[in-house]
Structure 1
Amino acid sequence: MNSTVLTGCTVVDARVLDGVAPLRDAAVWVRGDRIAAVGPADDVLAEAGRDHRRVDLGGAFVTPGLANMHTHLSLSLPGQGGDAVKGLSPHDLAFYMADGARRTLLCGVTTVRCVAEKDHADFALRRAVTAGRAAGPRIFTAGRALVSTGGHGHEGTDTLECDGADGFRQGVRSQVKAGADLIKVMISGGIAGEHEDIDTRQLFTDELTAVIETAHAWGRKVTAHAGPAPVIAEAVELGLDCVEHGYQLTPEVVAAMAARGTALVPTLLVTRCKAFFDELGVPEWMQRRSLGAGPRHLESYALALAAGVEVLLGSDMPPFWDFEGTNATVRELEHMSDAGLGPARALYAGTLGPIRWLGAEADLGTVEPGKYADLIAMDADPLESTSAFRGVRWVMSGGRIVRDDQNGRAAL
């Protein structure tokens, strides 16, 4: 069994919100794919004995890897860039997504939640990553998102058109059969649908009830693409577990979300990313709708924070995408922090919070013995500024070092 001791570091994770102070002059002993010990360097080195590799992180801050809860590795927005992805053959798509997974891992995102991927290629990619045949983050996936006929995203093979309560029940079961960890449903219009508005209602009550009841019966949580307050309010009342975007929230809706424990993945980037849209050739109608929704989107996010809604990191843009001097994941987390969350809560929103929603906290989310060794290191303190994550220079996944800038190489 491989044995590695990480020294020369300060260990910090989201438990700071519970009073667990950062551990300075620390060491982390990794045995196999899990953390064996964390503590003062001398104590950990003595416990690890002689038979180990020692890695000096040069004073870095070590945190759990980031978890991106709104990921599309096969994203194809309207425009030339999206058309190129839509035109990929199934074989080309698999390689395209595998490359995206590798790049995602290298930027320090060690867990993703996919919320609509094409042709069920995400399941094959998950199997390949788990088996070690492909490099990438741990993948939790919804498979294909459920939509009404003609609903948001219906044009692609990353959605499944359903109608009526029975149709949506069958849709949920089809994704569970394929191996889905959760269910994604589109309950309103959005910014990428030319023949709809953000506040277009797309499911009736019996259909929404069928999705949530069926998914919960199978032990799967449900997250919903949703913009307007009325449809979100109804979904929350029916037991929705998570809202994606939430462009038009109200005080009443966020109060209900907080009371029922419905999380929000705000994806603030999607209404403030003109350079990304220009790069992909996104048409003017979509850019106007997206950027025009930005101020109200930010107001909704502020309402959610004030009400105590749990907010979780999710970029919608590909997690690894180079954007405004960093990657999309870190840029989203910066927006969340700067808009009222603050660095400590942003650390939670980007690590332990998502892991708890996924039900994986026994294995991930903190730097503790027994957890998987999914770790990242940076030179600046993430409790001082969320922008510290721009400086991620070292990544470990399941006990394997996959990036090490200090030695001038990426291992993948």
Structure 2
Amino acid sequence: MHRATEQVLVNLALYDGVADHLQADQGIWIGVDGMIRAVGPVDDVLAEAGDVPVVDLGGDVVMPGLTNMHVHLSLGLPGHLADEVHRSNLAELVLLMADSARRTLHAGVTTARLVGEGRYADFALRKGIEAGAVDGPRIFTAGHALCCTGGHGWEADALEADGADGFRQLTRAQIRAGADLIKVCISGGIAGQYEAIDTPQLLDDEMAAVIRVAHDWGRKVTAHAGPADTVRRAVELGLDCVEHGYELTDEVTRLMAERGVWYVPTIVVSRCEQFFRDSGVPGWLMERALGAGPRHWESLQHAIRNGVPIALGSDMPPHAGYDETTATVRELEFMVDAGMPVADALKAATIRPAEWLNADDKLGSITAGKHADLLVLRDDPTRSVSALRTLHVVMKGGVVYRDDHGRTRARR
């Protein structure tokens, strides 16, 4: 089991997730409990900390750990990924997910929102990570995704129901298992062979049943959704978040902004041809995904322009290689390319997801009283999110899980 060490980080520039600029000559005091005890001008922090070991970061930049809001640790796209998942027994599945969790953490993602896993393995993994038996990000999970009979995701362990009563029962079953949120598939998508992206799949009373039960139990609902009209119906019924939104319109994104409905665009999934080839997906899936790219891009631009609250999510494995970086970093770069200011993109990967998760009192920024989930970069992320390509240290809860150059061992 890893344990935090009390220490003060010095000789660093700070992006704290609150201010939009770097703060020079800062210090961060981390307690033995892995919580941040003080942040501020280095001399003030050192004076407050007293006789505590000091770690010199050589002038590098420290920022909050990333949160990826659309993760499947047991990703089962048609092809060899699905084959590997489906032929695994439960123990093997948990081990596969644990390996993906470790890689995700090493990629700088210290918090992950899981939006559809299989066989309730995510709850066992979450327990193992919280106990320190497994290396991985902090997990917020929906358990199984919910869909109609034959609906999106049924081949990938989504649970099927029909009618309002059926969806009420499945929603309660996920909450009983320990779900932090509920994920429901309300339209077709890119990975279902016998559907189209714009196929509506839930009736209004079915969507309303999921949302009502979840909200009664204090859980938010996020929806896999493609077409604008289906999204509009769900938003009017009280939906909290939209995943993908392949075909959003100006009108619908205005409604989302007005109602405070969040958007996780996963823009990488409609432009990741090499990942699909490496994963051995069938030709129809690749053609549909890449063909959705232009409208998906327009959807993201509508959302940015109309002020929809946006959070980072990759759908691809967070650690997956993409253009000489990871899917997580590439997603952020795409969001900026689509018109999002760098300052907003950084917040979409740090403090804003924490707000959606109702965890911003402990996560999302480098502030006294929060978990010491920190990244160390060589370059300045407030100038370009591509600075995340220079990531070389990952810390979660005051414990170093990655240190490419041994920087955190250099104490004076």
Partner of 1:47: 48
- The answer on whether the counterparts of 1:27 and 1:44 sit within 8 Å (CA) in structure 2 is yes
C-alpha distance in 2 between matches for 1:58 and 1:338: 31
C-alpha distance in 1 between matches for 2:254 and 2:341: 21
- Name whichever of 173-182 and 1-10 sits farther off: 1-10
C-alpha distance in 2 between matches for 1:351 and 1:388: 15
C-alpha distance in 2 between matches for 1:3 and 1:226: 45
Matches within 5 A, 1:250-329: 250-329=249-328
- Name whichever of 331-340 and 207-216 sits farther off: 331-340
C-alpha distance in 1 between matches for 2:120 and 2:321: 26
Q: Which one-letter code corresponds to 1:111 in the other structure?
A: T
Q: Given the alignment of the two structures, is residue 186 of structure 1 paired with residue 189 of structure 2, yes or no?
A: no
Partner of 2:5: 2
- Tell me the CA shift for residue 53 of structure 1: 2.1
C-alpha distance in 1 between matches for 2:256 and 2:330: 25
Tell me which stretches of 4 or more aligned residues in structure 1 moved more than 3 Å: none
Partner of 1:26: 26
C-alpha distance in 2 between matches for 1:13 and 1:28: 11
Partner of 1:11: 14
- The answer on whether the counterparts of 1:13 and 1:347 sit within 8 Å (CA) in structure 2 is no
What is the SS of the residue equivalent to 1:16? Answer: coil
C-alpha distance in 2 between matches for 1:57 and 1:341: 30
Deviation string, structure 1 residues 173-209 (Cα, Å, up to 9, x no partner): 0000000000000000000000000000000011011
C-alpha distance in 2 between matches for 1:109 and 1:72: 13
Partner of 1:380: 379
Taking structure 2 as the reference length, the TM-score comes to 0.96
- Tell me the CA shift for residue 388 of structure 1: 0.5
Deviation string, structure 1 residues 96-154 (Cα, Å, up to 9, x no partner): 10111111111110000000011110000000011111111000000000000000011
Deviation string, structure 1 residues 347-374 (Cα, Å, up to 9, x no partner): 0000011010000000011111000000
Partner of 1:334: 333
Partner of 1:38: 39
Q: Which one-letter code corresponds to 2:48 in the other structure?
A: E
- Tell me the CA shift for residue 391 of structure 1: 1.1
What is the SS of the residue equivalent to 1:320? Answer: coil
- Tell me the CA shift for residue 408 of structure 1: 8.0
- The answer on whether the counterparts of 1:14 and 1:345 sit within 8 Å (CA) in structure 2 is no
Q: Given the alignment of the two structures, is residue 139 of structure 1 paired with residue 139 of structure 2, yes or no?
A: yes
Matches within 5 A, 1:206-245: 206-245=205-244
C-alpha distance in 2 between matches for 1:401 and 1:153: 36
Figure out how many residues of one structure are paired with residues of the other and give that number: 405
Deviation string, structure 1 residues 180-239 (Cα, Å, up to 9, x no partner): 000000000000000000000000011011010110000000000000001100100011
Partner of 1:404: 403
C-alpha distance in 2 between matches for 1:150 and 1:409: 51
Matches within 5 A, 1:156-171: 156-157=156-157, 159-171=158-170
Percent of aligned positions with the same letter in both sequences? Answer: 56
Partner of 1:246: 245
C-alpha distance in 2 between matches for 1:350 and 1:2: 26
- Tell me the CA shift for residue 23 of structure 1: 1.8
Partner of 1:195: 194
- Tell me the CA shift for residue 409 of structure 1: 10
Q: Which one-letter code corresponds to 1:184 in the other structure?
A: K
Q: Given the alignment of the two structures, is residue 119 of structure 1 paired with residue 119 of structure 2, yes or no?
A: yes
Q: Given the alignment of the two structures, is residue 150 of structure 1 paired with residue 150 of structure 2, yes or no?
A: yes
What is the SS of the residue equivalent to 1:282? Answer: coil
Deviation string, structure 1 residues 291-311 (Cα, Å, up to 9, x no partner): 001001000110111110011
- Tell me the CA shift for residue 57 of structure 1: 1.1
C-alpha distance in 1 between matches for 2:404 and 2:362: 27
Q: Which one-letter code corresponds to 1:45 in the other structure?
A: L
- The answer on whether the counterparts of 2:5 and 2:399 sit within 8 Å (CA) in structure 1 is no
Unpaired runs of 5+ residues, structure 1, are none
Deviation string, structure 1 residues 256-302 (Cα, Å, up to 9, x no partner): 10000000000000100000000011111011100001001000110
Aligned-residue Cα RMSD (Å) equals 1.3
What is the SS of the residue equivalent to 2:200? Answer: coil
C-alpha distance in 1 between matches for 2:337 and 2:408: 32
- The answer on whether the counterparts of 1:166 and 1:210 sit within 8 Å (CA) in structure 2 is yes
Unpaired runs of 5+ residues, structure 2, are none
